[in-house]
């Protein structure tokens, strides 16, 4: 039998701490390693089950969102095949769901972030989505002259921002460049809409968006260049 060195209560032979006062059991007959294991029965490293790990939670989110996107798409396909048979409109829903899955769910698939893979997948699926709608309504000219150039210009702007973003930047500078690249993308979209004669005021709207967002970007560039504002933002918003 052994006794607690603090309160003297009798302890069981397998006890690691006193049931009364919680004091760790000390047994002088045990070796140093055995005593150390008795005093520290648990490992310092916590092993979480896979479903509770960060990657496990990502997989759970992936499964839930994929299910939410898949069920409405399947319902639309069944309705298209049984009741509303005038045109294969459900293909547009399916391609749109694939594009949304690529944009919002694909980042959760891999353990390591792969931005260029996601960018390539989003660009290809955006082309597929636009091509599907054009094929349904039978206007391939719209795809070639308008939709494809718009997708290409937006993809180039996103890729340019990703290449610029590779180096470590201040958060204010990142926000400024978001508005800068967005202004260029909207200007290009407006010009394409005007040239393809889809929207005759596309250039004017594009210029308005470009100037407005450029002004916002200029404001953030000024905030970044001002040491006083940067210090205030760091203290106030922990940037």
Mean pLDDT of 116-144: 86
Least confident of 24-28, 154-158, 173-177, 214-218: 24-28
Per residue in 162-208, pLDDT (tens digit) is: 999 888 888 889 999 999 999 999 999 999 999 988 888 889 999 99
Question: What does the chain come to in residues?
Answer: 239
Q: Which of 42-46, 104-108, 197-201 has the lowest mean pLDDT?
A: 42-46
Give the mean model confidence (pLDDT) for residues 75-84.
90
pTM surpassing 0.85?
no
What's 106's DSSP letter? G
Q: Any alpha helices (H) in 105-170, and if so which ranges?
A: 115-137, 140-142, 148-165
Select from 136, 156, 154, 137 the least CA-distant residue to 193: 154
Q: Which one has a higher pLDDT value, 23 or 153?
A: 153
User: What pLDDT digit, counting tens, does each position of 219-233 carry?
Assistant: 999 988 988 888 877
CA-closest candidate to residue 109, choices 170, 53, 66: 66
Say which residue, 3 or 171, is predicted with more confidence: 171
Q: Determine the pLDDT at residue 51.
A: 47
Locus of tokens 């990657």: 55
Q: For residues 197 and 87, what is the distance between their CA atoms, to the nearest angstrom?
A: 26
For residues 225 and 164, give the distance between their C-alpha atoms in angstroms, rounded to a whole number.
18
Closest CA to 51 of 42, 41, 64, 70: 64
Q: How far apart are CA 195 and CA 140, in angstroms?
A: 16
Position 78 pLDDT exceeds 80: yes
């Amino acid at each position: 039998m052994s006794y607690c060195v603090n309160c003297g209560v009798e302890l069981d032979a397998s006890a690691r701490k006193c049931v009364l006062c919680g004091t760790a059991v000390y047994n002088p007959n045990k070796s140093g390693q055995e005593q150390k294991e008795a005093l520290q029965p648990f490992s310092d490293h916590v092993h979480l089950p896979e479903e509770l790990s960060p990657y496990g939670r990502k997989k759970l989110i992936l499964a839930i969102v994929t299910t939410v996107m898949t069920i409405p798409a399947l319902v639309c396909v069944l309705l298209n095949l049984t009741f509303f048979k005038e045109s294969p409109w459900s293909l547009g829903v399916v391609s749109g769901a694939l594009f949304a899955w690529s944009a919002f769910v694909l980042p959760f698939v891999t353990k390591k972030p792969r931005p260029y893979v996601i960018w390539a997948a989003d660009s290809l699926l955006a082309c597929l989505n636009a091509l599907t709608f054009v094929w349904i309504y039978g206007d391939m000219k719209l795809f070639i002259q308008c939709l494809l150039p718009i997708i290409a210009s937006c993809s180039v702007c996103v890729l340019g921002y990703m290449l610029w973003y590779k180096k470590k930047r201040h958060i204010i500078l990142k926000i400024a460049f978001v508005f800068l690249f967005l202004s260029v993308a909207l200007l290009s979209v407006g010009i394409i809409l005007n040239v393809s004669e889809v929207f005759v005021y596309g250039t004017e709207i594009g210029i308005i968006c470009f100037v407005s967002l450029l002004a916002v970007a200029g404001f953030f560039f000024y905030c970044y260049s001002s040491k006083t504002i940067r210090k205030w933002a760091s203290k106030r918003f922990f940037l």
